[in-house]
Amino acid sequence: MTRCPSCGTQYPDDARFCTKDGTRLISGTTPAPGYQRSTAPHTRNDMNVPVVHTTLTGKTLEGRYEIAKKIGEGGMSFVYLATDVATRERYAIKVLSAALSQDANAMARLRREASLGMRLAHPNVCHIIRLGETEDGLVYVVMPFVEGEILADRTNRLGRISLPDVASLLRDIAAGLQVAHELKIVHRDLKPENIMVCRHHDGTDYAVVMDFGLAKERKAGAELQKLTATGIILGTPEFMSPEQLRGKPLDARTDIYSLALMAYEMLTGKLPFSGRTQQEMMIARLRSDPTPLKKIRPELDFPDAVERVLAKALARDPEDRYQTALEFADAFSEAAGTRRQATPTNNESGLLGRLFGR
């Protein structure tokens, strides 16, 4: 017998697709490639009912994660809010679509993503905690539940963000990126939609870098290059660096460029390169200098030092930029006149990450 991994309907061996939702059928006993099956029960109540995307709410995944509700959905995954039955901690569970879980290349990328993500435990990074699969072949990723406001939504809501607040958020983002860069991991899709602004117990805000799903190690082999293709395919055009637009090899400095674009947009509500089409804006980044802050928002009278810091971070040649994320954030804070906070040492960062991530 074959079955539909989405709805659980069973079909004869010669059937190829589900007649209800069009999903490609799989063998009733064949798990997704590359993963060990769990022997733990995957539901708490309906032990004989397959756990699928449409029935996850209210279930207990593999006897550990109580699924409260769906909090997000994309073309390739569903995201649920869950609670650990033992610790009562809340987590975000990303469940892969049936089609994706049967794609060998996608599974190879997911294994790589999980391997990298589990090394990124840090207060300013939403990292991967574990990768699992149910008896029914449902592949899922466990991450900390990060509650807050997407940076893109905040900028759109406010129109712009104040200079001191931008400096503070920039340092948080840079701290998270620094941990990744020291592990030779490049985010390569840094954008406001991938930053969550959260709130400490004392009411102050902090930023968390989300979605390292497009991250790549700088020393990538041929197989990894095939999986990630080129930056121009995988990144977000509005926040790509010039070298990414050209499909050149990437390092940490491409994230610094994207971070500078984000800082500019937070300060002004606009991007520093203009064009009638997305293609024209991409060409402007390859050929033109960024529009000065004072030309976009003359009424705000930004310090000249802030202009100089952003201009350096947005240099077309990576060699002319700041070479580390924290170097950029430090220079920006100094130019903005905000009090510089001490950066945790590597040991302190690791301890904070373990406390935050577990």
Q: Which strand (E) or helix (H) includes residue 254?
A: helix 252-268
Cα-Cα end-to-end distance for the chain: 41
Q: Return the active site residues.
A: 189
The Cα–Cα gap between 358 and 353 comes to 8
Sequence-distant (≥ 6) Cβ neighbours of residue 356 within 8 angstroms: 121, 122, 123, 144
**Spatial contact of 39 and 15, defined as CB atoms under 8 Å apart:** no
Q: How far is CA 265 from CA 3, 81, 161, 273, in A?
A: 49, 31, 9, 11
Write the DSSP assignment of 85-145 as a string of letters.
TTT--EEEEEEE-HHHHT-HHHHHHHHHHHHHHTT--BTTB----EEEE-TT--EEEEEE-
The Cβ of residue 315 has, within 10 Å, a number of other Cβ atoms equal to 18
Q: Which strand (E) or helix (H) includes residue 3?
A: strand 2-3
The Cα–Cα gap between 67 and 81 comes to 6
φ, ψ (nearest 5 deg) of residue 186: -110, 130
Q: How does DSSP classify residue 17?
A: B
The Cα–Cα gap between 126 and 273 comes to 30
Q: How far is CA 47 from CA 85, 97, 99, 120, 301, in A?
A: 17, 22, 24, 35, 65
Q: Which residues of 233-245 are buried (b: 16+ CB within 10 A; e: fewer)?
A: ebbbebbbbbbbb
Give the pLDDT score at 137. Answer: 79
φ, ψ (nearest 5 deg) of residue 145: -85, 115
**Per-residue confidence of the chain (358 residues) as pLDDT tens digits?**
566 655 566 766 656 555 554 455 566 433 332 223 333 333 333 333 344 555 688 889 888 999 999 988 766 778 899 999 999 999 999 888 777 777 777 778 777 777 777 888 899 999 888 888 887 778 888 999 999 999 999 999 999 999 999 999 999 999 999 999 998 888 888 999 999 999 999 999 999 998 875 455 444 434 334 334 433 344 567 899 999 998 899 999 999 999 999 999 999 999 998 887 878 888 988 998 999 999 999 999 999 999 999 999 999 999 999 999 999 999 999 999 985 544 444 444 333 333 333 3
Give the pLDDT score at 115. Answer: 79
Tracing tokens 């860069």 back to the chain, one arrives at: 181
- List the domains of the chain with CATH numbers: 32-144 (3.30.200.20), 149-353 (1.10.510.10)
Instruction: Of 215, 217, 239, 213, give the one whose Cα is nearest residue 76.
Output: 213
